[in-house]
Amino acid sequence: MGETAMVDRSRRGTRQGYHHGDPSSDTTVVTTSASEPIVRVSAFRKTYGRTVAVDGIDLEINRGEIFGLIGPDGAGKSSLMKAVAGVLTYDSGRLDVFGTRVDSEQSAETIKDRIGLMPQGLGLNLYADLSVEENVDFFGQIRLVPNDVLQQRKKRLLEMTRLEKFRDRAMKNLSGGMKQKLGLVCCLIHHPQMVVLDEPTTGVDPVSRRDFWSILAQLLREEQITALVSTAYMDEATRFHHAALLFEGKVLARGEPDEIAALVPGRIVQAKAEPQAEAFARLKESFPQSEAVGPWLRVFVDDADDEQATTAVSSRIEKFKPQEMHVAQPDLEDVFIALLRRRGLTDEEPKQDVVEVAKTFGVPTGDSKRLAGIATEKPLAIEAHDLVRTFGDFKAVDRVNFRVQQGEIFGLLGANGAGKTTVIKMLTGLLPPTAGTGRVAAADMHRAGQAIKERIGYMSQAFSLYQDLTVVENIHLYAGIYGLSRRMARERTDWIIEMAGLAGREYELSGSLPMGVRQRLAIGCALVHRPQVLFLDEPTSGVDPIGRRRLWDIIFDLSRNADVAILVTTHYMSEAEHCDHIAMMYAGRVFADASPSELKADLRKESGQLLEVTTDNPLAALDVMESCGFAGVSLFGKRIHLLAPDPIEAEQRVRNALTDDGIHVLSVSEQPLTMEDVFVNRVLALEKADEAKQ
């Protein structure tokens, strides 16, 4: 892979830069003091036949910390974690856990009683037909936990995870977030010293994700537990004390999140410009790491300070009269992509000309306003009026209303079980509504089922392709289903191959493609008949950051350049920023319907500004701030976040409370609200209201 940029810790209290291995390498290691590591990995290598899964990894995990492995599918995270847990052999290198050299089945057995392992996948360490309580009891018994200890610990963990009132519910009937919390309880029931959690929050809604991290922070604080956690969500890096970025089995960078972010000098510039699509295309020519996020253009400018970055972006799009320009530090996802890009580790970006995208969907290229996605009068593409769907006594969808304009990116957000997929199935004619009406592409959903299907594209939450067919065979299959002529099928196949960046992979089996590439192919197949409306149900779930950005580039192009209306569901709250409009669902109901900026403004008005507090003892500070009644307090790595109606007054209260407890406050700063803040705060308020009614 070439050189590896690293930021490391040692037990000496110095910061020292040195080269690792080849003196010509640009590998940088920054060292600071740390306690005796609980895990040491050196030159670790694991292969499966001819496939190298992990290649020469070195890292250390300190006692009492949350250490994160961050990377896309296939980066080597799971193989390394299973070896640390003592359930997977490896080919070469050295692995020490709790001071024991793990190099045989016998040595692995000596550490397993001190470790709790939670494998990747929703509920894969659980038994579907057993209840919540039966699962916990089973794990306690096989771990030989004495019954009195088991009952006491079970009660505490179920209360902590808010699963106490679901003791009798079968695991298979739990939501994804509840399954993951139950999985955590089961791997904690024997009071391990370290937990190994493989992508515990993938596919989990934002409320459950935040619950999960709060539970880990509490365990870290109260039981000094150590956690090794993997994730594909780059925004979760702020939760880790130390992290390693993995790619293709190697360490791309490691250290504290802030130290990793500092490895790539540059700035993020955000600006508004019209026509947005044309300005975006112009920026892409000079800045490959650019994206359209809602009304904003977001650009990474390499090796620049604030003034240089602003000048570089504004000069490139000067004729579009850029407005509201802001400059910020890049986040970890920006850094990850920049490291890959600088080392030539990313595939060539799929390229589409703005006019060609428009022409292939029949948009008149002379209509500059429509081409820019700013038509003066946009017809409605989707209408939902009082939609209801019940399953027996259970009301999955409860009087849902919303409208989507042609050419709009509309986000339908909600926790697992909120009713999002049921709404989509009713609108697409796959499921009859119990009550209510709807129109899609000017067709009534009750009376024009076939007409609707001919005018829409639908990409389901589950993988919607045939994995034993090649790329071209999948496209031809969908072309046949929609009745395209041979000539049109050939034209559409060529367009999809180019749009999805599949040149050279036409005859590969779709099941062998990386997840991000597969999803681009799935979108292409949903677009084969040039629909007016596109439904995308969790299109980026499990996709790496580069793949997610490319998918959103495609979605943006279809909206702005081809005037396709797009309804998308997602669990990534950062992706909600890409939507022009959002409807949030809870328990089958829509409780918010506005643009992302309006929703954040409403939260700021209701609950205040987001403050970030940095101290010399974050775990103790978290206890103090919770006991003082601060709203929305949560731990993000070594920092604490809270909401404050009066930031100045709140900062003084924070400083006074922590100083009185002997905790040194390093900084208190205001941070921008995110869509995750909006979603979590609104859903928690609804949950409290429902509990008050019971």
pLDDT tens, position by position, 427-437: 988 899 999 99
Domains of the chain and CATH, by start? 37-261 (3.40.50.300), 266-329 (3.30.70), 365-594 (3.40.50.300), 607-693 (3.30.70.270)
> Is the confidence at residue 228, as pLDDT, over 60?
yes
Give the range with max mean pLDDT: 133-137, 389-393, 415-419, 639-643: 133-137
Render pLDDT for 590-616 as a digit per residue (tens, 0 to 9): 999 999 999 999 999 988 999 999 998
The phi, psi pair for 52, rounded to 5°, reads -90, 115
Residue keyed to tokens 């045989």:
104
pLDDT of 370 strictly over 70? no
pLDDT over 90 (residue 102): yes
If you average pLDDT over every residue of the chain, what do you get? 85
Residue 267 has pLDDT above 60, yes or no: yes
Q: How far is CA 43 from CA 47, 97, 107, in A?
A: 13, 15, 19
pLDDT at 27 over 70: no
**The pLDDT of residue 343:** 86
Q: Residues 37-67: pLDDT tens digits?
A: 999 999 999 999 988 999 999 999 999 899 9
Is the pLDDT at 514 greater than 80, yes or no? no
Does 661 score more than 60 pLDDT? yes
Residue 262 contacts by C-beta under 8 Å, 6 or more apart in sequence? none
Cis preceding linkage at 275, omega within 30: yes
Average pLDDT for 443-457: 80
Q: How confident is the model at residue 33 (pLDDT cuts 50, 70, 90)?
A: very low
pLDDT of residue 354: 52
How many angstroms separate the CA atoms of 211 and 634, rounded?
A: 10
Q: Report DSSP letters for 23-83, one per residue.
A: TT----------PPEEEEEEEEEEEETTEEEEEEEEEEEETT-EEEEE--TTSSHHHHHHH
Could you list the beta-strand ranges (E) of 406-466. Answer: 409-414, 435-440, 443-444, 456-459
- Number of residues written out for the chain: 694
**CA 583 remoteness from chain centre:** 19
Beta-sheet strand order (sheet of 242-247): 115-118, 194-198, 226-231, 66-70, 242-247, 250-255
pLDDT digits (tens, 9 = 90+) for 168-213: 999 988 877 788 889 999 999 999 999 999 988 876 777 778 788 8
* Structure confidence by residue, pLDDT tens digits, 274-291: 999 999 999 999 999 999
Q: Which long-range contacts (CB under 8 A, 24 or more apart) does 653-659 make?
A: 653/628, 654/611, 654/613, 654/625, 654/630, 657/624, 657/625, 657/628, 658/613, 658/615, 658/621, 658/624, 658/625
Question: CA angle at residue 490 from 285 to 539, to 5 degrees?
Answer: 60
